[in-house]
Amino acid sequence: MTAERRPAKIRSAEIRAPKHAHSQALHQRAEQFFPGGVNSPVRAFRAVGGSPPFIDRAQGAYLFDADGNRYIDYFGSWGPMILGHAFPPVVEAIERAARNSASFGASTSAEADLAEHIVACYPAIEKMRFVSSGTEATMSAIRLARAATGRKLIVKFEGCYHGHADGLLVKAGSGVATFGIPGSAGVPKEIARLTLALPYNDLKALKAAFAAHPKTIAAVIVEPIVGNAGCIPPAPGFLSALRKITASHGALFIVDEVMTGFRVALGGACRLYSLDPDLITLGKIVGGGLPVGVFGGKRVFMDLVSPLGPVYQAGTLSGNPLAMAAGLATIGYLQKHEREVYPRLEATSKAVAEGVAAEAARAGILLTTNRVGSMWTWFFTKGPVTNYTRAARSDTKAFGRFHRAMLDRGIWLPPSQFEAAFISTAHGDAEVKATIAAARAAFASLREN
């Protein structure tokens, strides 16, 4: 935006508002083909209003849209892009693999190469299987847990998202130890009833559920740090208690690290909180931006999977060579540079999360900042935010206005109050400074309106 085009006295909110004519046209065209114009619902920006910019390309910490606007990226493709966009070693690995054909449907050495890295980072994973999404990973882990225990019920926690399989799209029932209700049209209530949805960080509720349903709970699945209700850290001792309680009731403990894996530490939340679960699910970063999911864990359970055992699970594109190459380049880099990468992510995240929070405080706007490493959320509510009920008290309209005010200033935050923000190793001091300055102006514009 050129300075000449600025009228003398215009409200700060409008000074650099980017143009979106091309994106709007592209969105209208897309609406003919895709429900809401998108292939995944949050991309439609319904939670924050306005139509979503269409992306042309991205480099490092920056996204460029169809109208030539540039944004600092704070959602990283919802998690995978921890090394920044178009990171050369990842691009080269994909190009090299593509020259040898995009898919064989037969085994390659790259699968075991990536598996070796994963086992080194997640010692609880003795054996694994590659799938093509986080949804497939959690769905398969649940099937395996039911087979291993001969039990039907699953416990999950409110606000945790584990992909869109029927049994995991379940809301809480009216009481903590009662059965779940469908969280989506099309999920039969008979299936939802097999899932108990409990409040996160609430051990009493968990104990009550085990007491009310003796010997029928197959597994407890948890986002070790909630990301999908906004960032909510586990209360001290919560996760280790999950491990103990599941073990004492003969249920499996499934840690869903699709978001946190390789994000909060190389060894994910399991490393951070010294967890030894029965099964772990991975996704997002493990594919370096290509579609990869993993479910894995103790050998006794994984050996129940077909063709060794009776649990059927398969995938035409599972272990796809391009996806393996991108994953290997990403995880290999993270492992080699662990000592620089994670302290850098921590320092940059802390600077931006706290810097923006300080601007809010200065503007008299009430925010609660939850952060674990390079995932965080600014909740527009008085804290503490320790579970979904408390997160839901946020002023989502204020968040929507903040989101738009930041977007207008070249900062792309996740387009919902209930999503975690992420950064990459490509983000540095310049991006932090620009973001804090944008937040100062954005908060000022919120107060004007």
Nearest C-alpha neighbor of 65 from the set 73, 56, 52, 74: 56
Among 65, 73, 256, 278, which one carries the catalytic annotation? 256
227 sits near ligand PLP (criterion: CB under 6 A): yes
Residue 200 known to be catalytic: no
197 sits near ligand PLP (criterion: CB under 6 A): no
CB of 403 to ligand PLP, least distance (A): 20
Residue 161 known to be catalytic: yes
How far, in Å, CA of 280 to CA of 269, rounded? 11
Site stretch for ligand PLP (CB under 6 A), options 54-62, 111-119, 254-262, 294-302 = 254-262
Site stretch for ligand PLP (CB under 6 A), options 96-104, 212-220, 221-229, 241-249 = 221-229
| Cβ nearer to ligand PLP, comparing 267 with 283 | 283
Tokens describing residue 271: 């490393």
Instruction: Return the DSSP state at 173.
Output: -
Amino acid at 233: P
387 sits near ligand PLP (criterion: CB under 6 A): no
How far, in Å, CA of 380 to CA of 247, rounded? 38
Interacting residue with ligand PLP among 58, 110, 196, 258 (CB under 6 A): 258
| Cβ nearer to ligand PLP, comparing 169 with 172 | 169
Residues 72, 64: contact at Cβ < 8 Å? no
330 sits near ligand PLP (criterion: CB under 6 A): no
Residue 152 known to be catalytic: no
| Cβ nearer to ligand PLP, comparing 182 with 283 | 283
Among 62, 284, 298, 333, which one carries the catalytic annotation? 284
SS3 330: helix
Phi, psi of 78 (to 5 degrees): 70, 20
How far, in Å, CA of 403 to CA of 360, rounded? 13
Strands 217-222 and 55-59: unpaired
285 sits near ligand PLP (criterion: CB under 6 A): no
**Per-residue interface string for the shown chain with ligand PLP, residues 156-195, x marking contact by CB under 6 A:** -----xxx--------------------------------
CB of 43 to ligand PLP, least distance (A): 12
Report H helices in 54-194: 88-99, 109-121, 134-149, 189-192
List of long-range contacts for 361-367, beta carbons under 8 Å, 24+ apart: 362/440, 362/443, 363/440, 363/443, 363/444, 363/446, 363/447, 364/447, 365/398, 365/443, 365/446, 365/447
228 sits near ligand PLP (criterion: CB under 6 A): yes
| Cβ nearer to ligand PLP, comparing 138 with 396 | 138
Tokens describing residue 284: 């997002």
Residues 82, 285: contact at Cβ < 8 Å? yes
CB of 232 to ligand PLP, least distance (A): 12
259 sits near ligand PLP (criterion: CB under 6 A): yes
How far, in Å, CA of 378 to CA of 76, rounded? 17
Strand partners, 220: 155, 253
Q: Closest residue (Cβ) to ligand PLP?
A: 134
256 sits near ligand PLP (criterion: CB under 6 A): yes
CB of 211 to ligand PLP, least distance (A): 27
What residues from 104 to 133 belong to the interface with ligand PLP (CB under 6 A)? 133
Interacting residue with ligand PLP among 69, 135, 417, 425 (CB under 6 A): 135
Return residues touching ligand PLP (CB under 6 A): 133-135, 138, 161-163, 223, 227-228, 256, 258-259, 283, 293
Q: Indicate which residues carry an active-site annotation.
A: 161, 256, 284
